[in-house]
Amino acid sequence: MKGLLHLYFVLCVLLLSSTLSSNSSASTNLCPRDQSLALIQFNNSLSIDCSASEYWCLEHIQKKTISWKLGTSCCLWDGVNCESETGNVIGLDLSCSCLIGSIFSNSTLFLLHHLQHLNLAYNDFFPSQIASEFGHFTNLTHLNISGSGFTGIIPLQFSHLSKLVSLDLSDSTNIYYADDLIFEGHVFEKVLGNLTKLQHLLLDEVDMSSVVPTSFLNMSSSIRTLTFWFNGLQGKFPVDVFLFPCLQRFSLTGNDIEINFPKVNWSAPLRSLEVSSLMYSSLGEVTDSIGNLKSPGIGSFFF
């Protein structure tokens, strides 16, 4: 058993170290003109209004785009990160920046092909239809559009984002809106199958009512975080998901799902398991199998 755990640990370290990204700094003054222009036009297509962000962002509100000044290098602007050698814009973090407006498929945001990190979380782009142009960001390792008001059907082009390590589409439209993002079953399967480096997948409140739970078996073996709240998932959840070697945090709440936890040999190095108020789960079996949970690092359980 110890040998097996050790093996899992080594496997995880190998999987994780292969996806670490290199250091880059914004100390350079370079900023390619086309990318500067794309940022300015993107900025001009939006306005600033903090009323929607206040609740979600609390003290984290930062109107980053206010610091964006014409005639200065975009690499010096708040929220913009450039690659040190080329000056290409590889990071854009505008989370909690009080931005409101629409992001259509013709947005100049999608001209920033070099992006590796994109965080637009907790702004108000409602009701922007999620554009297939997101699939152009083929070098993205981190995408976060949590709570930013995107709606509609997640396009198949998300399967092009094969370098993604972290994908956060949770609470897409936060509680003020009814329209959720929709992950169709066949799209979900293709996307999961192609995102082979994925470690963090957060899909709270994404409508997944047409997803078959066995699709989760297509997941990257590097998966560490899986959170699903109120997705309209139905059916039996495949027990083998608990045996993914890197799985550390698992949350599946408010879905009409039947889970049968492994009765023996929970060999995955789970550190935290949050499985709250499942509609159908045999708690008797859960507590029985917890007894068999020998993984040393296990921290917390929530039921």
Ligand X SMILES: *[C@@H]1O[C@H](CO)[C@@H](O)[C@H](O)[C@H]1NC(C)=O
Residues binding ligand X (CB under 6 A): 23, 25, 40, 43-44, 47-48, 65-66, 68-70, 95, 104, 106, 113-114, 119, 121-122, 139, 144, 146, 159-160, 162, 166, 168, 190, 194, 200, 202
Reading phi first (left if > 0) and then psi (alpha if -120 to 50, else beta), residue 59 is in alpha
The rounded distance, in Å, linking the Cα atoms of 142 and 163 is: 9
Contact 65, 43 (CB under 8 A): yes
CB of 41 to ligand X, least distance (A): 8
Judged by beta carbon, residue 160 or residue 252, the one nearer ligand X is: 160
CB of 122 to ligand X, least distance (A): 6
Q: Which of 100, 77, 99, 102 is nearest to 87 (CA)?
A: 77
Judged by beta carbon, residue 6 or residue 69, the one nearer ligand X is: 69
Give how far Cα 236 sits from Cα of 99, 106, 151, 190, Å: 40, 41, 27, 20
Judged by beta carbon, residue 69 or residue 236, the one nearer ligand X is: 69
Contact 139, 115 (CB under 8 A): yes
CB of 99 to ligand X, least distance (A): 8
CB of 251 to ligand X, least distance (A): 13
CB of 182 to ligand X, least distance (A): 18
CB of 51 to ligand X, least distance (A): 15
Judged by beta carbon, residue 174 or residue 281, the one nearer ligand X is: 174
The rounded distance, in Å, linking the Cα atoms of 36 and 44 is: 12
Judged by beta carbon, residue 190 or residue 271, the one nearer ligand X is: 190
**How many other CB atoms are found less than 10 A from the CB of residue 56?**
20
Judged by beta carbon, residue 110 or residue 244, the one nearer ligand X is: 110
**What strands, in cross-sheet order, belong to the sheet with 225-229?**
80-82, 89-93, 117-119, 142-144, 166-168, 200-202, 225-229, 249-253, 272-274, 300-302
Contact 89, 81 (CB under 8 A): yes
CB of 65 to ligand X, least distance (A): 4
Amino acid symbol at 99: L
- Numbers of helices and strands, H then E, in the chain: 5, 17
Judged by beta carbon, residue 100 or residue 286, the one nearer ligand X is: 100
The rounded distance, in Å, linking the Cα atoms of 92 and 215 is: 31
